[in-house]
Chains A and B, each alone.
Chain A
Amino acid sequence: MNILSLFVLIPVLTVIAILFTSNMKQTRIVSAIGMGFQLILAGVLVYLYLTERQAGNTAAMLFYYDAVWFPTLNIHYTLGVDGISVAMIALTAVVVFAGIFASWMVDFLYREFFISLILLATGVFGFFISLDLFTMFLFYEVAVIPMYLLIGIWGSGPKEYSAMKLTLMLMAGSALLFVAILGIYFYSAPAGSALTFNLLEISKHTIPIEMQRFLFPFAFVGFGILGALFPFHTWSPDGHASAPTAVSMLHAGVLMKLGGYGAFRVAIYLMPEAAHEQAWIFLILTTISVVYGAFGAIVQKDLKYINAYSSVSHCGLVLFAILMMNQTAMNGAVIQMISHGLMTALFFALIGMIYGRTHTRLINEMGGLMKVIPFLGVVYVIAGLASLGLPGLSGFVAEMTIFVGSFQHTDVFHRVCTIVATSSIVITAVYILRVVGILLLGPIKNDHYLHLTDAVWYERLSTLTLLLSIAAIGMAPLWLSDMINFSLGPIIEKISGITTVAGLF
């Protein structure tokens, strides 16, 4: 059996196994074993991938597998990964694993909770391993639907409103996406030959430029909504604030990355001419996202809102870098997806743990927590430092690469966008340090907090998994960026090879 199919099979088997559990303890142990196995499998995949490349396999996609499942429309179950998808799969495995332990104490309808959570993960894994547009889209929908239930049932605050808002906006995004995918399908092959959904097949053929002009915005905005593109980001603060901890982690950590990944793999890769023509519009929007999200985060009072706006800013940076369409910036975009995925998941995990103790998420009501819960406090500070781009942690590697890549464009427009986006680093420092100052330092504002207990083993396991990954990328980024770079090569060649044509045009 193809190793990639296991990434879908294991979660499905875990879900089935959960159905047979009879109490909370069994449910969470089964989930933890399933997702622990998935994490190991991700490690094995990274290893196999690297050895295969070392052995000199230069195929664009490794572990390729192809089977038809709906011949009428030529829909296939096509699998294959390159360095970028391998990195995303590893990220997902880490975040899901940490997410299981962050929701260790969910006791309301626990079986249904873990089933929905793992189904969501199945969708995400399926998305990253698919090379068939239709199958990819299908997995994307599999990931979005459990989200509605997870927020609507296990959420907090105005959860029905938030769940509805999030789902409707993402569904609007997938409607746009569906138009784009169908459009691509109908122009996927030269006249006379069979139409296909296969990404690799389509990329060999140039979609007529008139169609590209029409379809590119659908594809880019469709994925962009998921990647919190301004002004379609407003589902993010409400959705994250109402979602239970593990769902916020998975949503900000992984699901939002589907947006960046898709925008790059589908929108730009398949329609490079239109991407070159229209990039400026979206560059303006993403530049706004980056700065706007950061400014928005400064004055929020709710920890989750702060992190949600911060995600708007950081995910904006992913789309921003993708639109720069050169090797360095795109490499940075992928590292930023991984880096942001890990640290935002860590933030949401910590916020959940802090909320579980203080029963408030409003920073003004807390203070001096470093004295009573030093473990969580220190991890929060480190996550914050990663977020503001301190060297030695993953955020620095990502942002540095992005800005160096963006600055390689010598024209005024790209330079101005880059400079404006770079200013977000300073603003990020303001909102991160503001929270650290108010939340963790200073006097303890409530006597009740004096008796709080620090993190227990499953919380430590959850946060340390994420923290170690962040530090690992920060300390040794080269194996990751080499892995990404190798796969970016042919993609950039296709994109930039067309630049000259578009330039003449």
Chain B
Amino acid sequence: MVAAWHHNKILFGIEFLVAGLTAFYMFRLYYNIFWGKATHYHHTPHEAPFVMTIPLMVLAFGAMFSGFLPFHALVTSDGLPFEAHIDWSVAIPSVLIGVLGIAIATLMYRKTTDLPSKMANAFGASYKWAYHKFYMDEVYLFVTRKIIFAHISTPVAWFDRHIVDGFMNLVARTVENTSMSIKGMQSGRIQQYGYVFVTGAIALVLIFVYLW
């Protein structure tokens, strides 16, 4: 956030706001899950076994104390350590907005009130957008189902079966039909062969006599 403050005030503003929002939604979760009236569950909640709590403890320890690692000396863009100090003009407002977020969450969720629904109504459309994750999943589904499945793949599959394969079948059927229609010539009937032979001979004679 210090870097953002020095380079781009708009970015800083966004980060500042998000810091408050994070505090707010984390405490919303906290109050909703662990405070308020006890609900009756299908399975009664119980403490987690050690296989789950021990990793959680390790992670919690890391989350609490990783700030003490000297990152400014370890991770830099040019490989050289740099001087880092606390910038109070950024640190104090950041903590304050975090506290403000927590305070609002406490006000809204610590006890069951109608404040959250009132707020939801007040924000109207933007609440609905956010609630539906800005409809990103719907957009993805639309692209895959409605565009790729329905308007690319289905026609491709149809084209393949009816046009490409249809052509191959047409070739085969043409050959078959041609054979069917000329197979009568190989009937084995001597009279027919004789008839064709004599007709042909007469035709040839006529051609030689009159047209040559």
Contacts and interface: CB of A to CB of B under 8 A. Distances in A.
Interface of A: 165, 168-169, 230-231, 233-234, 237-238, 292, 295-296, 298-300, 427, 430
Given A295-B157, A296-B160, 7 more contacts: A165-B168, A169-B168, A230-B164, A295-B152, A295-B156, A298-B148, A299-B154
Contact of B149 (A292, A296, A298): A298
A298 B153 contact: yes
Contacts of B172: 165, 168
A169 B172 CA distance: 10
B126 interface: no
Given A168-B172, A295-B156, A430 B148 contact: yes
A268 to B, nearest CB: 25
A476 to B, nearest CB: 34
10 contacts: A165-B172, A234-B160, A234-B164, A292-B156, A295-B153, A295-B157, A296-B157, A299-B156, A299-B157, A430-B144
B153 A292 contact: no
Nearest to B167: A231
For B144, B148, B165, B168, which residue has the most chain A Cβ atoms within 10 angstroms? B168
A60 B157 CA distance: 44
For B152, B160, B172, which residue has the most chain A Cβ atoms within 10 angstroms? B160
B156 A234 contact: no
A237 B164 CA distance: 12
A65 B83 CA distance: 75
A234 B153 contact: no
Interface string B123-152: 000000000000000000000100011001
B106 to A, nearest CB: 41
Contact of B160 (A169, A292, A430): A292
Given A165-B172, A168-B172, A292-B156, A299 B164 contact: no
A230 B159 CA distance: 12
Contacts of A296: 153, 156-157, 160
A225 to B, nearest CB: 11
Contacts of A238: 165
A254 to B, nearest CB: 24
A231 B169 CA distance: 13
Question: Nearest 10 A-B pairs (CB), nearest first?
Answer: A298-B153, A234-B165, A295-B156, A299-B153, A295-B153, A231-B164, A299-B157, A296-B157, A296-B156, A299-B154
Interface in B150-208: 152-154, 156-157, 160, 164-165, 167-168, 172
Nearest to B175: A168
A181 to B, nearest CB: 24
Interface string B62-85: 000000000000000000000000
A445 B149 CA distance: 23
A234 B168 contact: yes
Contacts of B157: 295-296, 298-300
